[in-house]
Structure 1
Amino acid sequence: MKVALIHDQLREFGGAERVLVALKKIFPQADVYTTTFDLNSLGSHKNLVKNWKVNVSWFGKIPILNRFYSPFRFLTPLIWESFDFSKYDLVISSSGSWMSKGIKTKKPTLHISYVHHPPRYLYGYETAIEWQKYWLVRIYAYIVNHFLRIWDFQSSQRPDYLIANSEETQRRIKKFYRRNSIVIYPPVTILSGHSQGVQKQKGHPKGDHYITVSRLARAKHIDVLIKAANKLKFNLKIVGTGRDEKYLKSIAGPTVEFLGNLSDQEFKKKFLNAKGFLFASKDEEFGIAPVEAMGYGLPVIAYNSGGVPEYIKNGVNGYLFNQLNENSLVEKINELTRLGGEKYLEMKKEARKTAERFGEKRFEREIKSFIKKVLPYKV
């Protein structure tokens, strides 16, 4: 069976790229297609994809377009419709902001789209454009987005089946595309053997810091975490990079540390010594980072929005704060701090137990099971 994997773009490594890597493990012989590809921009994760044969679109082969791709997003329909997938039995698109579900296929090729989210910038959810200070850029974006929204709906009817990465995304698919979908949660890397370590711990861990992992972008609201750290004077370690880094450093107090991208060993050490994980992203469809943190036995304090309440249960494996400001977050941090040793340990166990429901083997099993139902070939 010939399989193709289609991904929006390979210029950064986040939750969507983890899904692509997991799909490639399930179908190691699959060909990979994308709009743009920059191996070095994947940082410490580039080893995961460096041996892949990646088919890049005509768009990604033009240097100026490849470098300044966002203003040329209006070309998205032309990019995806230029590919030919007639030689494949199965095509799986990994679709988000760049709408890779918009590819065209013909029978008997089967197209399944794993939808991370309908593009947020098309449907009123927070994106970087909200903080764009140049009004001409905002007007340009609104005009382009009007036509992209029409194409996004039309192209959403092309896949034979849609898979949503959460119940929140499933609701958005129904609302914006008027289509049914099934939910298969994304794969989360769980630290093996750590459950026993969680059970043996007594009270609060030695580490006295909180941690977050995120792209440093306005829509991720890292500033809320920083303001809370400034107010309570707790140690906050921020993993990740992004265009907002300069601004965030300018408002950070002495207890806030920016770690950039970490190696796997450094990442593991920072997590094992943390007290909890903080997450303030708004309208996040799923959020892999909080679940990964729970795999380390970390209680998560997160903004009550999007798909996050699907796995964080208030007072059980973490806390949800209801207003997107530092005062609301501080309340929940104080609640966690006041927990007695045994109750805190119980919360860590529940966090770990929650994460184990989202492992990579579960993802592989559910993907294979679904494909077997809809495709008369062996998977």
Structure 2
Amino acid sequence: MKTALLQSSVGVGGRSKVLAASIRVLNSHSHSIDLHTLSNSTEIEKFLNYYGLVDIDITGITHSGSIVPGTIYQQPVLNIAARSSIAEYDLVFNSNNCIRFLPNTPKYIHYVHFPTSRNPRIDPKYDRLPYRIASVPLILMSTLTATKLNGHVLANSKFTLEHTQEAYDSLDAQVLYPPALESVRLREFSGEGIVSVGSFNQNKRQLLQLQMAKHFPDTEFRIIGSIASEPYYASCRKYVAENELDNVTLLPDVSDQRLRDELQRSRIFLHTMKNERFGIAPVEGINHGCVPVVHNSGGQSEVVPDSDFRFDNPSECKAILADVLSGKSPSKKTMRTHLKQFTESNFRSGLSKYI
């Protein structure tokens, strides 16, 4: 079987982690695998090396379009750019969040992290006028173009599934949770302090975490993440300095080992993003023994089924943090069973059925 992969950019992150696990499954069914992306050869090589895929014969094919601003436009641009090329494949694994502008010839497995056209509906940045204006072409494009499918549609959460069905006219899609964990290793909830993991940008809302740190001056906060927005990271540093938050450590771009160490020694994993589509980082935090405290929206209700550890506003967040710091935690047995659906083995067996 000749297989193509579609993803607008590859590197280190949630979408790329899913793609890497998918490649391992697809490799046992394919005599050739080509990766179609807007990323350059250096970025493709970094992706393959990071996820240990160098022993698999994959050809990276870079299409023009990386200069197009915004992921929501790069995704349909890749589909258009790769359209003629992918018509010759037997199977296309589409991890590009856009199902439009694709040829009908191959069979498809569409793994949707969140449908491109629905982002303006749930992302708070589109409340601002410049972003609303920038999203108009996408909305028009989504309204005026049809979707024809020849394969299966999988969503990374029930939250994403609902939006996928609305975006593509009630598709017969299914949920297949991403491979967040190699295996379930949770033994007990222990440790000290609060950790968070997420790129520094407004959507992740690290400033709310810093407000919590101000309210709990005797608790250490370790805020980890790549710097996606330099101005936002600067505003976080400014807040720490102006409020003399000696209990806060900002940790941009840490190593994998440092990340694991911080998760292992922390009591709480704090996740403040609204409408997180799924959220691999909180799952990893729980597996390392952190009690999750997450916003009550998006896919987080699926990651953290116990509503006692989900908040809707800052005051609820403070109350839950206080309870957990005083010893409250979810059932370890229940959570261990819950985590099994987020493992690589569960993902691989689920994906294999569709292949």
- TM-score, structure 1 normalization: 0.79
Structure 1 residues 74 and 301, CA gap change in structure 2 (3 angstroms):
closer
1:21 aligns to 2:20 (yes or no): yes
Match of 2:296 among 304, 311, 334: 304
Indicate the residue corresponding to 1:113 in structure 2. Answer: 110
Gaps of 5+ in 2: none
Contact 1:297 / 1:348 at 8 angstroms: preserved in 2? Answer: no
Shift of 1:144: 2.6
Check 1:210–1:351 CA distance in 2 against 1; reply closer, same or farther (3 A cut): farther
TM-superposed CA distance for 1:296, in Å, is 1.1
1:240 aligns with 2:225: yes
For residue 81 of structure 2, give the secondary structure of its aligned residue in structure 1. Answer: coil
Verify the 8 A CA contact 1:122 1:149 in the aligned structure 2. Answer: no
Match of 1:266 in 2: 258
Query: Counterpart of 1:376?
Result: none
Q: State the match for 1:126 in structure 2.
A: 123
Instruction: Measure how far apart 1:348 and its partner are.
Output: 4.4
Partner of 2:310: 320
Moved more, 273-282 or 352-361: 352-361
- Counterpart secondary structure, 2:94: strand
Number of matched residues? 337
C-alpha change, 1:236 and 1:144, in structure 2 (3 Å) is same
Alignment-mate amino acid for residue 103 of structure 2: T
Shift of 1:77: 4.2
Kindly tell me: are residues 74 and 304 of structure 1, through their superposed partners in 2, closer, same or farther at Cα, counting changes over 3 Å? closer
1:377 is matched with: none
Give the one of 9, 30, 33 matched to 1:30.
33
Instruction: Report the CA distance shift for 1:319/1:361 in structure 2 as closer, same or farther (over 3 A).
Output: same
The within-5 A match list for 1:196-207 is: 198=187, 205=190, 207=191
Taking the aligned partners of 1:159 and 1:236, their CA distance within structure 2 comes to: 48
1:22, CA displacement in angstroms?
Answer: 0.7
Contact 1:279 1:301 (8 Å CA) reproduced: yes
TM-score, L = length of structure 2: 0.84
Could you list the runs of 5+ residues in structure 1 that have no partner in the other structure?
372-379
2 CA distance for matches of 1:123 and 1:57?
26
Match of 1:223 among 193, 207, 220: 207
Single out whichever of 350-359 and 84-93 deviates more from structure 2.
350-359
Q: 2:163 aligns with which of 160, 169, 172?
A: 172
Kept after mapping to 1: 8 A contact 2:17/2:51: no
Partners of 1:120 and 1:127 within 8 A in 2: no
Give aligned-pair identity as a percent.
Answer: 20
Within the alignment, does 1:161 sit opposite 2:152 as a pair?
Answer: yes
1:330 deviates by 0.7
Write the distance in 2 (CA, Å) between the matches of 1:72 and 1:352.
Answer: 35
- For residues 146 and 236 of structure 2, what CA distance do their matches in structure 1 show? 39
Check conservation: 1:16, 1:94, Cα contact below 8 A. yes
Could you tell me how far apart the structure 1 residues matched to 2:161 and 2:133 are? 30
CA distance in 1, matches of 2:46, 2:304: 30
Q: CA deviation at 1:361?
A: 0.9
Letter in 1 for 2:64: W
> Residues 117, 263 of structure 1: CA spacing in aligned structure 2 closer, same or farther, 3 A cutoff?
same
Report the Cα offset of residue 150 of structure 1: 2.5
CA distance in 2, matches of 1:49, 1:103: 32
Aligned 1:29-48 pairs, distance under 5 A = 29-37=32-40, 39=42, 47-48=50-51
Amino acid at match of 1:80: N
After superposition, the CA RMSD in angstroms is 2.9
1:297–1:349 contact (8 Å) kept in structure 2: no
Aligned pairs for 1:7-156 (under 5 A) are 7-10=7-10, 12-28=11-27, 29-37=32-40, 39=42, 47-48=50-51, 51=54, 52-60=58-66, 65=67, 69-70=68-69, 77-83=76-82, 84-96=85-97, 99=98, 101-107=99-105, 109-119=106-116, 122-130=119-127, 137-138=130-131, 140-150=133-143, 154-155=146-147
Amino acid at match of 2:156: N
Matching residue of 2:238? 250
Task: Kindly indicate whether the alpha-carbon contact (under 8 Å) linking 1:297 and 1:352 is maintained by their aligned counterparts in 2.
Answer: no
